[in-house]
Amino acid sequence: MCFKKKLLIYILLILLNIISGETSLNIIWGYTPTEVLSSLKEVGNEIKEVKQIFSALIFKNGISGITIKISEIKKEPRITISLSVDDEIIKSLDFSPDSSGEFSFEMEEKIIPKTKIEVAIRIDEGVIFLPISTIGTGMGYHKINDDFVPTNHLPLGLIVP
């Protein structure tokens, strides 16, 4: 498939993600909320870290925050969520949700990426379950034996101004 067709499909997926979002924030999700699989991604037992990598091409107006959607929690999770832009950690924070839901973290200043953006989570305690899809923006990864390997698209997203 030629580059222009791939780019058009990529842009359409992004628009679908924005339109189908369940929030008033402008979010570009790593997964497609309308195309979730019946199974959930368990993070916290065997897999402790996951991340979604996005191309900077679609964020020319910058990003102003990060978000995650959690379907279920067990054992009072303690989560570290981080944002890396062009291989530099921009924001990292810990939180402990007491229920499932969507959690957004806005930044004071917008960031303009040059090459890539990573939204990552690490589970320090407890377990969470994430909705996943086979269609999405960017690429999802989970960490197995100290290496990140591809997985489904994850409900990690970027807030856009």
What's the order of all strands across the beta sheet hosting 27-29?
27-29, 156-159, 63-70, 101-111
pLDDT tens-place values along the chain, 161 residues long: 555 555 556 565 555 554 444 446 799 999 999 999 999 999 999 999 999 999 999 999 999 999 999 999 998 999 999 999 999 999 999 999 999 999 999 999 999 999 999 999 999 999 999 999 999 998 999 999 999 999 999 999 999 98
Sign of CA dihedral 125, 131, 136, 137: negative
Rg over CA atoms, the chain: 15
CA distance 55 to 52: 10
Q: What's this model's pTM, rounded to 2 decimal places?
A: 0.82
- Among the listed residues 100, 94, 96, the one whose alpha carbon sits nearest the alpha carbon of residue 76: 96
How many residues would you count in the chain? 161
- Among the listed residues 35, 59, 67, the one whose alpha carbon sits nearest the alpha carbon of residue 112: 59
Name all domains of the chain by residue range, CATH numbers in brackets.
Answer: 3-159 (2.60.120)
